[in-house]
Structure 1
Amino acid sequence: MRCEPHLKCTLKCALDSSCFEMNVYIELLKNSPIGVDKLAEILDKDKSTVYKALQNLLEKGYVTRDCRILRGGGYKYLYKPVPFGEFKKKVLKNIEEWVRQLTKYLEELEEMSRTKLLEVLESEKV
């Protein structure tokens, strides 16, 4: 599925995340801390799908989780986004890397075009 070009999709690309992971992140901004059950209910998705997205966001460093001990026994994880300063730093770092790689690629393309052009011009001399 392809996203419409807007800020959410730009962030999705910059963060190397899926559209659904961005939806999860946005819900965390609105409703945190929050558990998987409640988040799955809000997003109208299966808990395992939401859990997988949270795990990906956790591994990438965009989300943290706290363990809460339940009165009746057991525990529950509550998720929240990292502080905005950390998030911003990661986004800018990823975008800078993106620009660096894109610049390198464009330079390679430009060099290939020159080489091809020279081949054509030199073949015309013969």
Structure 2
Amino acid sequence: MFGISETGLKVCLCLMEDGESTAADIADRLGIDRSTVGRQLNHLTDIGVLDKRQRLLKEGGYVHVYSPVPVEEVRRRLTVGLLAWTDEALDIVEHVNREKLDALARADGDAGDEQASIYWDG
């Protein structure tokens, strides 16, 4: 549901052990391509498992630093996400059921017409 891959879990566990790190440091530690780590970090940040901030570099510029969100906050965020997903799924099921009932009603109305037939599996 949240789309966390095996690589994403490795990245997350690495950060839980280190406390905070950059994409380059994680890529080096795990032996994974930096762009793959970057995609995973962005996804984990998007779903609320990690926080991202900028660290200014002495030589100029900045680097993104990632850190794990406290477990209770992750639990809260994932619960909110799960409830939203469940609500959306129930809306879809309700819509499909309405369409099915409408189609059955139309088929019943056309019972005298041999061309009108509907078949629902399940």
Q: TM above 0.5, one fold? A: yes
How many residues are aligned here?
A: 110
Residues 58-89 of structure 1, C-alpha deviations (whole Å, 9 max, x = no match): 3544322463767xx56765422111122111
**How much has 1:107 moved relative to structure 2?**
0.8
Q: Does the 8 A contact of 1:40 with 1:50 survive in 2?
A: yes
TM-score normalised over the length of structure 2: 0.68
1:23 correspondence with 2:10: yes
Partner of 2:70: 83
Name the larger-Rg structure.
Answer: 2
Partner of 2:49: 62
Q: Does the 8 A contact of 1:62 with 1:87 survive in 2?
A: yes
Structure with the larger RCO, 1 or 2 (CA within 8 Å, 6+ apart): 1
CA RMSD of aligned residues (A): 2.8
1:101 correspondence with 2:75: no
Partner of 2:118: none
How much identity, in percent, do the aligned residues show? 19
In structure 1, runs of 5+ residues without a counterpart are 1-12
TM-score normalised over the length of structure 1: 0.67
**How much has 1:37 moved relative to structure 2?**
3.0
Instruction: Return the alpha-carbon distance in structure 2 between the equivalents of residues 29 and 59 of structure 1.
Output: 17
In structure 2, runs of 5+ residues without a counterpart are 114-122
Q: Does the 8 A contact of 2:4 with 2:44 survive in 1?
A: no
Bigger helix share: 1
